[in-house]
Amino acid sequence: MLLINGIKLRPDEDEDKLKDKIEKKLRHPIRSFEIRKKSLDARKEPIYVYSVIVDIENEKRFLSRDVTLYTKENLRPEYKERNCICIVAGYGPSGIFAALRLMEAGFKVHVFETGKRIREREKDVERFFETGVLDPSSNVQFGEGGAGTFSDAKLTTRIKDRYIDYILDSFIQHGAARSIRYENHAHIGTDEIRRIIESLTDDMIKNGVIFHFEEEMEEIILNERREVTQIRTKKGAYPCDHLLLGIGHSAYDTIRMLKKKGVFIESKDIALGFRVEHPQDFIDARQTRSIVETANEYFLRYKGDKGVYSFCMCPGGIVIPAMSDEGTIVTNGMSYAARDSGVANSAILIQIGKDEFEDGYAFLHGLEKDAYRYSDSYRALSQNIADFMEGKTEPLRFPSTYPLGTVLYDFNSFFSERDCRILKEAFLDFDRKIPGFIDKGIMVGPETRSSCPIRIRRNEHYESINTGNLFPMGEGAGYGGGIMSCALDGIRIANELICRHG
């Protein structure tokens, strides 16, 4: 195989032309090719630049500065029957990819998940969005696929890791578009990620993974050496050699149980805030790129006395109720693959140091409950950004996409005086970068589950520092944030166990 960099296409040229261009460059017919990377060079006339992997006979004849040999690494583990039971508690991205890899390596894998399978979960989430009746164990946070299932399914990460290809290939095998391998800021959309995860689960079931949906791990059982030997659910006790804990950041009861069992858990800094929404055409008109490829995104960051930044932007998306506990309000964002709601939303978060609260979960939960009390319903709190700047509450410039409705609220009462000052400085800064950001935008919140307030500390072998056989992973353990980083964390732990068991 060959890797060829620098194949160019004008924006009006179809990708079908790539084969001709490659053959022209090599002056030889090729057998097949695959796009590896696609980027937009907008320095002069905008042009797409591709890196491609090419299958051609006598490949060494074609080597040059832009054309090098390429060998695809086999990232699948070696299969061996291993007499070792791994329990995976929590089936979000970390749990999915840990279970998948352990299965491929021949471990006996049991998955326990509080929530339901996706088809049932979809009905519960839809019912909640339509009627405001929340099921605390089947919602946007809990169920097959975890928190990212009702999301934009953005696959961006700053982490460089060879296993990113393993994750993307697994998604592609189960129905994702091949372009997620090479598009900048690839996203799958909530509609498609649900079907992909369902297919991954069905495949694992066929390959011997035992799933226990709607069965929450309620207790871990330790021996005298403080090693996990079993877990307990309402239905019974299950022995295990290793427990992989991928419970996400909303499982407060499970964290309380782990604390009671003496598992070492420390506090960490968090970020919290609200969503802002703007008409998508306003964001598109302000975009700096010379080609509008899809609904546009922005990334904003302000460094004042504290950091304030945009996060998890959902162009053409909707703001959703993302709570898992009754009597609380939590917002988040999601979009469908087409990103065509006409409204852009993004979280705007301010950093909160761990010295600003005693118990992070209790602090966040308190804010979520206060929001519910104010709203007296699941309607989200809302305000025009311009009114927040002046401490007023006037009717919203346009209705929020949040499906359960909104109540007007002055977010100046939500944050400390200092944080309000910093947020206002940040908005002025964002308005300089995107003129109109303040006047055109509305705030909807609160957004409290964008980061986990704890870390279940682990050693260099990914095991809890004071509890043997316990492998905390993903966002809820404080080792990831986002689909890709949590999936990678699950893979890291699976690799550690594969290594241990030879």
Interface with ligand FAD (CB under 6 A): 89-95, 112-115, 140-143, 146-148, 150-154, 216-217, 246-248, 251, 254, 312, 320, 322, 332, 334, 474-476, 480-484, 486
Helix axes 190-206, 93-105, angle to 10 degrees: 30
Cα–Cα dist 107/87, whole Å: 10
Token pair listed for 333: 């964002």
Tell me whether residue 104 or residue 152 sits nearer to ligand FAD (CB atom). Answer: 152
CA 368 distance to own-chain centroid = 21
Q: CB-based burial of residue 190 (10 Å sphere; 0-12 exposed, 13-18 middle, 19+ buried)?
A: buried
Smallest separation, CB 100 to ligand FAD (Å) = 13
| Cβ neighbours of residue 375 closer than 8 Å, sequence gap 6 or more | 329, 381, 407, 409
Q: Which two tokens stand for residue 385?
A: 């950004």
Q: Which is nearer to ligand FAD, 77 or 472 (CB)?
A: 472
Q: How far is the CB of 288 from ligand FAD (least distance, A)?
A: 22
Minimum Å gap between C-beta 358 and ligand FAD is 23
- If the CB atoms of residues 215 and 431 are measured against ligand FAD, the closer one turns out to be 215
Which of 334, 343 has the CB closer to ligand FAD?
A: 334
**267 or 324: whose CB is closer to ligand FAD?**
324
Amino acid making up residue 290: S
Side-chain half-sphere CA neighbours of 86 within 13 A: 32
Backbone phi, psi, residue 330, to 5°: -140, 130
Question: Parallel, antiparallel, or unpaired: how do β-strands 307-314 and 301-303 relate?
Answer: antiparallel
User: Smallest distance from the beta carbon of 276 to ligand FAD, in angstroms?
Assistant: 16
For the stretch 173-177, contacts whose Cβ atoms lie closer than 8 Å and that sit 24 or more positions apart, written own/partner, are: 174/199, 174/200, 174/203, 175/199
In angstroms, give the least distance from the CB of 465 to ligand FAD. 19
The residue among 214 and 419 lying less far from ligand FAD, judged by its C-beta, is 214
Instruction: Indicate the DSSP class of residue 358.
Output: S
Residue nearer to ligand FAD on the CB measure, 5 or 229: 229
Token representation of residue 11: 């924006």
Looking at the Cβ atoms of 50 and 97, the one nearer to ligand FAD is 97
At its nearest, how many Å lie between ligand FAD and the CB of residue 7? 30
Task: Report the residue number, 144 or 431, with the smaller CB distance to ligand FAD.
Answer: 144
Cis, bond preceding 446 (omega within 30 deg of 0): yes
Q: How many angstroms separate the CA atoms of 294 and 211, rounded?
A: 38
Q: In the chain, how long is the greatest CA-to-CA distance?
A: 73
- Taking the complex as a whole, how short is the minimal distance between the CB of residue 306 and ligand FAD, in angstroms? 22
In angstroms, give the least distance from the CB of 248 to ligand FAD. 2
Which residues does residue 334 pair with via DSSP β-bridges, in sequence order? Answer: 318
As beta bridge partners, residue 86 has 109, 242
Report yes or no: 46 and 4 within 8 Å, Cβ to Cβ: no
Using only the alpha carbons of the chain, give its radius of gyration.
Answer: 24
Closest contact distance (angstroms) between CB of 316 and ligand FAD is 13
Kindly state the smallest distance separating residue 381's Cβ from ligand FAD, in Å. 17
- Which C-beta is closer to ligand FAD: that of 106 or that of 148? 148
